[in-house]
Each structure stands twice: as C-alpha cells, then as structure tokens.
Structure 1
Amino acid sequence: MLNKQAEPVPLQGVRVLTCRPEALAARLVQPLQAAGAEVENWPLQAIVPITLSGAERQKLLNLDHYTKIVLVSPSAVQLFVELAEDYWPQWPLGVEWFTVGAGSAEFLARVGLEAQYPEQGDRSEDLLALPALQQLQGEKILLVKGKGGRTQLIEQLTEAGAQVEPLVLYQREPLHWPAAEVARVKDFDYLVFTNGEALKVCPLEAEKSHLPLLVPSERIAQLAFAQGWQRVINTQGAGAAAILQALCEAQTNQET
C-alpha cells in the first residue's frame, strides 16, 4: 500500500510577525500557519467604529439612490452590513456591488448580495481595472471605507466621470507595544504590515537595517524606505495569497 505523500510546507519553521488589527488577524495568520510558518500577530492598531452624523446615516437610508456601492475593506463590509440591515430588511434593487477582495465578496454573499471583485490582486488598481468600472459618466457611487484611506480610488473614480460620496465607518487607533514585546521582535524572520498607517506608528528602530519588511504596495514600500527600512518586499497586495507567495519567494531566494 502506497504511503500518501505529505503536503509540502514551504515555510516550515519560518518565524513571521504580523501586525493586523485583532479582528482581521485570522484570515492572514491561518494560511501562513498552514504553510508551516510560526506566526504571531501583534496589533499596532484597533478598528474603532465611528459614530455617524445625521448626514452619514442618510446615505444608508438612500442606498437605492446609488448606482454602485464599493466597499474597500473587510472592516468596511462588516460594519456596513451591521448598520445597513437595520434600514434595509430587503436590499435595494438595481445597485451594483463591489469589493476589493474575494473574502469581502463572500461575506456579502452570505447576506444575499452579489459583489464584483478583482480575480487577481486586491489593490485599488486591480479594482479599477474591472470592466464595470470603466464607463462611469453619470454614475453615482457610494464608497464605504475607513478614515483616511483610498484617496487615490476616489480621485480616479471621479476622473472617470462618477459622482463619488464617501461613507466613513471606522478609524484605526494606535496601540502600544510594551518594551518586552519590542525586544522580542529580533526573534522573527519577517515582519508583515498590510497598511501604511500601521507603519507610521511602528515602534521599531533597531530592526530597520536587517529585518525583512513585507508591505502591500509600492506606495507603502516607498514610505518604508523613507522611514529607514532597508529590506522592503512589495507583496503586490494585502491578501493572504499575495503575502504567502512573497514569503515563499523570499525564503527560496534566501536558501539558494
């Protein structure tokens, strides 16, 4: 009887520190662990819902006034559904829904909404490449997001002719790393950031010359270089698949 060959674990024994907000950590940590990595998540930020003004709540009441609704993060999707279901026991007809990633689209599907998303990549550029977002003259778009993010997306949708209204549902607030945790960072092989705001509040200095830092875009890579990081890897996306691939490639290059 033939023995079943064990599944390959390309990151066996590789120590990875991720810095996602606690509520979002599992969707990155679990795939890395499945690939053999030893992963810890130390949040640098917390996702904090924003109390909406009357004008912002009116946008939720007027979902049927928009032709397209774009939700740009898992936190935006979750908070939006929690709020909007109070106003819409049945979702409005005639609205096209969009997310940046497959995970967010799956979440919407569980509440009866079919969303379009990029098959490859999870950046603003990948979303903007969707055929349904090419001809936007006269379109009215609701962009559901966190405070301070995706300004490029708003600009490019507007340039394409759309009227874009942002709906900001949350902000990221910095968390403090105790000195004992900071001292342990030297024990890891890679550090992963999935947004630029986390990079801005990172308490590390001594590790900038030697610890490989993975970031999701060229913009954030340039921010990292400007802050003094010397070994920066652009994963070309913030999703688990892009980060896993970049880690595997980096580890292969290091071993050869």
Structure 2
Amino acid sequence: MQVLVTRPLGQQQALMDALSRAGHRPLHSPALHIEPLPVSDASRRVLMDLDLFHAVFFASSNAARLALTAMADIWPQWPVGLHWLAVGKATAAEISRWHLQPTVPDGGFNSEAVLALPCLQQLAEKKVLLCRGESGRELLAKTLAERGAEVVSLPFYRRVPSTAFHCPEGCDWVMVTSVESWQAISGHIPSAVGVVAAGERVATPVRAQHGGPLRVAASAHDEDMLAALPSM
C-alpha cells in the first residue's frame, strides 16, 4: 500500500523505514513545519534557576532539542537531582544524547501517562518546568498545579501549517500524529483515502470531518502506527 507520512521534515525517516520493511510504499509530505522561537530574556532567567526545579518535562523531541541547547549555553555542567521527563521514546532518545538520564512512561506516551509517573505524585512546594511548543494541551500544567506544584511553561517552537502539503494520487492511507496536523491537512485528503490517527484524541476530529476509512493507533510511536494499518 502507498502510505503518506505527515510528520515534520527530519522526523519522518524512522517511520518510513518501518513501512518499507513491512512491504509498503512510504511517501512523505509534512503537515506542519517546526519554527524555533528565540529564547527570551525571561526564559533565560528561568533557565538560570534550573537547579531549583524538581522536574523538567519535554513535550516532544523538538522541545528537548531546542530547550537543552538553550540550557547547555547556561549550564556547562548539568544540575543534579532533577527528573528529566520525556513523553515518549523519541524524546527520551534526544535527552540521552545530552548525557542525561530520561524518565519515560512504560506505556501510553501522552500527558495522562506522564502524570502517572511516581516522581509527579507529591509536588507540594516543588517546581516543575514544562518545555513545549507555543500551543498544546493544558492538562499537564493544570493537573500538576492541582497537585501543589509551581508550574512554569516555556515555549521553544511553534508549529506552522505547510503550504506545500500534497496528498499524492494513488495514496491509500495517511498517517496523522496530532490534532494540529489533521487541522492543517483535513481539506486536502480525498474521502476514499484512509486515515491512521495516533490515538482517540486525534481520531475524534478526523471522524467528524472525514468520510473515509479510519483506524486508531494505540499511540504515535512507529510500531503502533504501523500496527494500525490493515493487513495487506
């Protein structure tokens, strides 16, 4: 089958390789572009106090790469005693590249799974830093605050819809890994083309707007997206 991967440029290759190994023909057209944001003076002041935080959460591999680059400019040696939290395996791999030990949920790979981590249960008088994109879910920040944490959110990038997105003729399935991705491309997917959505949260708007086949993956991870495809 011809399967279109819509991840941003630079994040598509592992999934495309997995699709090829499974006998599919992978295609790529990004739904979104990642646009780094400048690190403001206010953000730098927060990062200078990094050692005062209990945990640092990275919402994506992009957030980890950009935030840790900014942190490394300030901290020649990493502060000790922090929990470095990743939402999934790709983010954890990026954290590990900076010689840090990431903590990642055993399963789920979303905000709910992160909130179940033992280090985020007792947070009275503790500070948690969220490194993320300019927009995103507020569940994590809201729940951490309810648990007593002082939560600081810093944006390190914004997601910009791709004006060049194209669903090629003959495409059988499109893989969509976020609500924002779907919103960017929803008007360009023919009704006959199937959609693989990364979880029920992504599937909900797809179901409301797309009349074609829909399959819901357990998560946005490569193996789950691949497993959601119908058998050939």
Which consecutive unaligned segments of at least 5 residues does structure 2 have?
none
Q: Name the counterpart of 2:217.
A: 235
The whole-number CA distance in structure 2 between the counterparts of 1:206 and 1:81 is 36
Q: Name the counterpart of 1:72.
A: 59
TM superposition shift of 1:41: 1.0
Change (3 A) 1:67 1:90: same
Q: Name the counterpart of 2:178.
A: 195
Checking the alignment, whether the CA contact within 8 Å between 1:123 and 1:238 is kept in structure 2 is no
1:142-221 to structure 2, matched below 5 A, reads 142-177=129-164, 181-182=166-167, 184=168, 186-202=169-185, 204=187, 207-208=190-191, 210-221=192-203
The whole-number CA distance in structure 1 between the counterparts of 2:114 and 2:228 is 21
TM superposition shift of 1:106: 2.3
Letter in 1 for 2:216: N
TM superposition shift of 1:203: 5.4
Checking the alignment, whether the CA contact within 8 Å between 2:32 and 2:159 is kept in structure 1 is yes
The whole-number CA distance in structure 2 between the counterparts of 1:86 and 1:194 is 32
The TM-score, its normalising length taken from structure 2, stands at 0.92
Which consecutive unaligned segments of at least 5 residues does structure 1 have?
1-13
Q: Name the counterpart of 1:121.
A: 108
Checking the alignment, whether the CA contact within 8 Å between 1:15 and 1:188 is kept in structure 2 is yes
Equivalent residue pairs, number = 232
Over the aligned positions, Cα root-mean-square deviation in angstroms equals 1.8
Checking the alignment, whether the CA contact within 8 Å between 2:186 and 2:209 is kept in structure 1 is no
1:62 to 49, 52, 55: 49
The whole-number CA distance in structure 1 between the counterparts of 2:189 and 2:142 is 37
TM superposition shift of 1:177: 2.9
TM superposition shift of 1:161: 2.1
Q: Which moved more, 1:45-54 or 1:198-207?
A: 198-207
The whole-number CA distance in structure 1 between the counterparts of 2:65 and 2:189 is 37
Letter in 1 for 2:83: E
The whole-number CA distance in structure 2 between the counterparts of 1:102 and 1:198 is 20
The TM-score, its normalising length taken from structure 1, stands at 0.84
The whole-number CA distance in structure 2 between the counterparts of 1:66 and 1:105 is 19
Identity of aligned residues (%): 31
Letter in 2 for 1:58: R
List, as ranges, runs of 4+ consecutive aligned residues in structure 1 with deviation greater than 3 Å: 203-206
SS at match of 2:74: coil
The whole-number CA distance in structure 1 between the counterparts of 2:73 and 2:176 is 34
SS at match of 2:30: coil
SS at match of 2:10: helix
Looking at CA atoms only, which structure, 1 or 2, has the larger radius of gyration?
1
Q: Name the counterpart of 1:223.
A: 205
Letter in 1 for 2:94: F
The whole-number CA distance in structure 1 between the counterparts of 2:208 and 2:27 is 26
Letter in 2 for 1:57: R
The whole-number CA distance in structure 1 between the counterparts of 2:57 and 2:125 is 16
Checking the alignment, whether the CA contact within 8 Å between 2:177 and 2:202 is kept in structure 1 is no
